[in-house]
C-alpha cells in the first residue's frame, strides 16, 4: 500500500524556519501528540532526547513543539510567539533534557500531556526533512509515519478479546470505509491497534459515535486530518 514517501515530503514541507527536523518536524510531533490526547491539555512536559536535547534552543524546537501541541501548522508564522500564546491559553509547559535510551533516533521527544486525571505520553522522532514517526503511545510500541498520505489512520486502545476489534471493524465497514491494514501492539492485557483506512475520510462525529457505542474500547483517535501537509 502507499506508505511510499510523497514527492512533497521532499519538496516540502512549507515551513517556518530554522530547521526542518528541529522546527517543522517538532511541530508535527506536537500536533500528533495533541490529536492522540484528544483533550485540550492543561499541562505539557517535553523530555528532549539526543540532538533535540543538545540544540533545542537555537532551533526553536521548544517553540515548535509547544505550537504543535496547540495545533499550529508548520507554516504558521505565529510559531515564533508560542510561549506567549500558551500563557494566554493558561497552558503550563516544561522542557527537560532526558536520555531516553540508545534505541531512539537522535531527534526524539517524549511528550506528556495532562488534563486533570487524563494523562498520555507520546514518543516521537523527527527523522529528517520534516518527516516524523510516532514510536510509543503510553506503554505501547507503535509505528506511525507522519507523511502526506492519502491513507487515514485510527488509533484504538482496546481489550485483548479479539471480538472487540472485529466488532469495531464491522461497524467501520458499515460506514462505507474499508480497512487497508491493522497493526497491533500489546501491553499486558491491553491492545493498541492502528487501523489504516481507505476510501473516504471518517468524520469526528462518527469516531465519537463509535467510541461511545463500543464495549471494551478505551479510546479511539482519528489522525486523518494530520496526514495532510501544511
Partner 1 sequence: MAESPNSMNNFEFHTAEQILKLCHKHKLFIGEIAKRYEAERSGKSVPATRNKMKQTRNVMYEAVKKGIHSTQKSKMGMVGGDAHKMHLALKKIPEMIGNKVTIRAMSYAIAVGEQNAGMGRIVAFPTAGGAGVIPGVLFSCAEHFKAGKRKLLNGMFCASAVGLIIAEGATLSAAKGGCQAEVGAGVAMAAAGLTEMRDGTPEQCFHAAAMSLKSYLGLACDPLGGLVEVPCIKRNALGCMVAIGASDLAIAGVKSFIPFDEVVLAMRNIAKIMSPKIRETALGGLAVTATGNMIKKKLGMKITPMDL
CB of 214 to partner 1, least distance (A): 28
Burial string for 39-57 (b: 16+ CB within 10 Å, else e) reads eebeebbbbbbbbbbeebe
CB of 57 to partner 1, least distance (A): 6
Interface characters, 143-172, with partner 1 (x: CB under 8 A)? -----x-x----------------------
Comparing CB distances to partner 1, the nearer of 75 and 185 is 75
57 binds partner 1 (CB under 8 A): yes
As a whole number of angstroms, the distance between CA 124 and CA 76 comes to 21
Among 48, 83, 101, 107, binds partner 1 (CB under 8 A): 107
CA-angle at 108, arms to 106 and 71, nearest 5°: 145
* Other CB atoms within 10 Å distance of the CB of residue 142: 20
CB of 52 to partner 1, least distance (A): 9
Instruction: List residues bridging with 193 in a β-sheet.
Output: 156, 184
Interface characters, 13-42, with partner 1 (x: CB under 8 A)? xxxxxxxxxxxx------------------
As a whole number of angstroms, the distance between CA 208 and CA 120 comes to 19
As a whole number of angstroms, the distance between CA 8 and CA 124 comes to 21
Among 43, 129, 180, 214, binds partner 1 (CB under 8 A): 129
98 binds partner 1 (CB under 8 A): no
**Across the chain, which distance is largest between two alpha carbons, in Å?**
50
Residues lying near partner 1 in the complex (CB under 8 A): 2, 4-24, 50-51, 54-55, 57-60, 75, 77, 79-80, 105-107, 126-131, 148, 150, 198-199
Amino acid at each position: 500500500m502507499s506508505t511510499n514517501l510523497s514527492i512533497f515530503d521532499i519538496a516540502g514541507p512549507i515551513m517556518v524556519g530554522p530547521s526542518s527536523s528541529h522546527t517543522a518536524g517538532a511541530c508535527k510531533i506536537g500536533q500528533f501528540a495533541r490529536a492522540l490526547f484528544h483533550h485540550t491539555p492543561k499541562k505539557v512536559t517535553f523530555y528532549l532526547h539526543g540532538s533535540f536535547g543538545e540544540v533545542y534552543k537555537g532551533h526553536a524546537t521548544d517553540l515548535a513543539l509547544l505550537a504543535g501541541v496547540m495545533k499550529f501548522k508548520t507554516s504558521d508564522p505565529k510559531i515564533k510567539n508560542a510561549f506567549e500564546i500558551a500563557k494566554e491559553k493558561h497552558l503550563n509547559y516544561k522542557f527537560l533534557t532526558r536520555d531516553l535510551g540508545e534505541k531512539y533516533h537522535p531527534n526524539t521527544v517524549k511528550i506528556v500531556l495532562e488534563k486533570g486525571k487524563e494523562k498520555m505520553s507520546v514518543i516521537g522522532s523527527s527523522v529528517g526533512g520534516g518527516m516524523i514517526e510516532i514510536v510509543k503511545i503510553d506503554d505501547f510500541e507503535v509505528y506511525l509515519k507522519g507523511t502526506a498520505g492519502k491513507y487515514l489512520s485510527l488509533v484504538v486502545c482496546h481489550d485483548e478479546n479479539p471480538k472487540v476489534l472485529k466488532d469495531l471493524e464491522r461497524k467501520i465497514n458499515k460506514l462505507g470505509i474499508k480497512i487497508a491494514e491493522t497493526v497491533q501492539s500489546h501491553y499486558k492485557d491491553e491492545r493498541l491497534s492502528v487501523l489504516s483506512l481507505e476510501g473516504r475520510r471518517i468524520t469526528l462525529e462518527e469516531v465519537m459515535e463509535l467510541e461511545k457505542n463500543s464495549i471494551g474500547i478505551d479510546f479511539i483517535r482519528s489522525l486523518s486530518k494530520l496526514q495532510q501537509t501544511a
